[in-house]
Amino acid sequence: MKLLGKKTVREEVVYKPAELYVKQHIVHSYECDCHDPDYEAKPIKSAKAPRALFSSGAIASASFLAWIFYLKFVLSVPLYRQEDHWLMSRLEISRNTMSNWVIRGSEYYLLPIYELLLADLRKREVIHADETPYQIINRSDGKSGTSQSRFWCFHTRLEDKKPIIMYHSSLTRARPVIEKVLGEYQGYIQTDGYEGYKSITGVIDVGCWAHVRRKFNDVPKVKGKTTQAQVALNYCNRMFKVERELKNKTPEERHRKRQEKLKPIIEEFYEWLATFTAFGKLKEAVNYALNQKVSLMRVLEEPRLQLSNNHCEQQIKTLIIGRKNHLFSTSEAGGQANAIADTIIATAKQNDLDPFKYLQYLFENLPDLDYHRQPELLEAFLPWADEAKQLCVAYLPKEPDLLEAT
């Protein structure tokens, strides 16, 4: 038979497992033949090799270390499972070795970028904040390893052209931790209503209407009856509907429309709260709304403020997924290394960078960069720098609309 024609019947995605190989760095030495060895020694010069990430005996390359970070902090694969994964690829490497690499890699190469991001964060006029419990086994304060530590998240505005997501690990939830992280910060901070942010010099606390809505949503429902909690939910839904309509408006337009549309709803909501006596869960929701009134009303005075703190909470959920897998940090150094790595990765993603490419980019270039004596050199390695955006750009799926109260 002779060929009549052809057609494509289907396409399949084929997976090819990753490959490990050894890369050797060979240094050549040269001597000069222009000198007579009977009178003087021949000059000898050796080529300069790229600096190792750690000691000369460590086998970690930039790409290998970046992938360990990616597995742990992006895919939430704990190091003990990575140990098994690498063994299947015929590489024996212990979780302790990888743990040391994560701590030292974060300290040597990611911390300088982390500190620049923190300094930038302190200059922003509006930031969001949230925190979640965490566990550190070996604590310096003498408390047991079962005591709750804290993981903090500080986030710039959604509209900022250079977004930052900053994480911090601490042993307590006390106000001094906030003051240490924020330094001399002056501006708005939107939170879930935690008292630790109130009365800090220079800080203007902003409430979250999504938390108000959740409090009323948690009130038990009565089948076939419209309860006060459901009325409160309707008020909140009307607020978020207005806010969605203002999503792409300029700050000036947003401020004007909020005065026209949002302010009457909020004022009516608080007038309605005074018309009944609440009990149980409903009382908790009403008290929360009343106690946070000053903070919640601030959305009407500054158009750059959001109606909710949802986006910051979304970043906390990423940590919670990781916590469910690796459970705890053995040391305080490990906790802070996690915070540094999570900061670099989350900020890279917010700036549309591939976190693996960006980590590899940092690990390849920073060992040979004299940033201790010339710290200004690090500016070129921030996630919004031109070269980083060219070399590390990523395809990222569109994020959901976080203006939804739910």
Q: What is the pLDDT of residues 127-174, one digit of tens each?
A: 999 988 888 888 888 888 888 888 899 999 978 999 999 999 999 888
User: What's the pTM value of the predicted model, to 2 decimals?
Assistant: 0.87
Which range has the worst mean pLDDT, 178-192, 199-213, 318-332, 351-365? 318-332
Query: Does the residue 354 lie in any domain?
Result: no
The pLDDT confidence band at residue 400, using thresholds 50, 70 and 90, is low
Q: Looking at the predicted structure, is the pLDDT value of residue 404 above 50?
A: no
CA–CA–CA angle 313, 318, 319 (5° rounding): 95
Q: How many domains does the chain have?
A: 1
Q: Quote the CA–CA distance of 373 and 117 in Å, as a whole number.
A: 19
Instruction: For helices 332-350 and 355-365, give the axis angle rounded to 10 degrees.
Output: 120
The pLDDT confidence band at residue 396, using thresholds 50, 70 and 90, is low
* DSSP run (H or E) holding 141: none
Query: Does the residue 232 lie in any domain?
Result: yes
Question: Comparing C-alpha atoms, which of 105, 103, 120, 38 is closest to residue 66?
Answer: 105
Query: Does the residue 369 lie in any domain?
Result: no
pLDDT-above-70 percentage for the chain: 95
Quick: pLDDT tens for 42-92.
788 888 888 888 876 788 999 999 999 999 999 989 999 999 999 988 899
Q: What residues make up the domain containing 228?
A: 209-306
Query: Does the residue 59 lie in any domain?
Result: no
Query: Does the residue 350 lie in any domain?
Result: no
pLDDT-above-90 percentage for the chain: 59
Please, which residues bridge with residue 390 across strands? none
183-190: average pLDDT: 92
Query: Does the residue 272 lie in any domain?
Result: yes
Give SS3 for 241: helix
Q: Token digits for 175?
A: 């106000």
Quick: pLDDT tens for 304-338.
999 998 888 888 877 777 776 776 788 888 889 99
Q: Quote the CA–CA distance of 114 and 46 in Å, as a whole number.
A: 35
Q: Quote the CA–CA distance of 80 and 375 in Å, as a whole number.
A: 36
Greatest extent of the chain over all pairs of C-alpha atoms, in Å: 108
Q: Looking at the predicted structure, is the pLDDT value of residue 405 above 70?
A: no
Q: Looking at the predicted structure, is the pLDDT value of residue 361 above 90?
A: yes
The pLDDT confidence band at residue 231, using thresholds 50, 70 and 90, is very high
Q: Quote the CA–CA distance of 218 and 178 in Å, as a whole number.
A: 29
Query: Does the residue 213 lie in any domain?
Result: yes
Query: Does the residue 112 lie in any domain?
Result: no
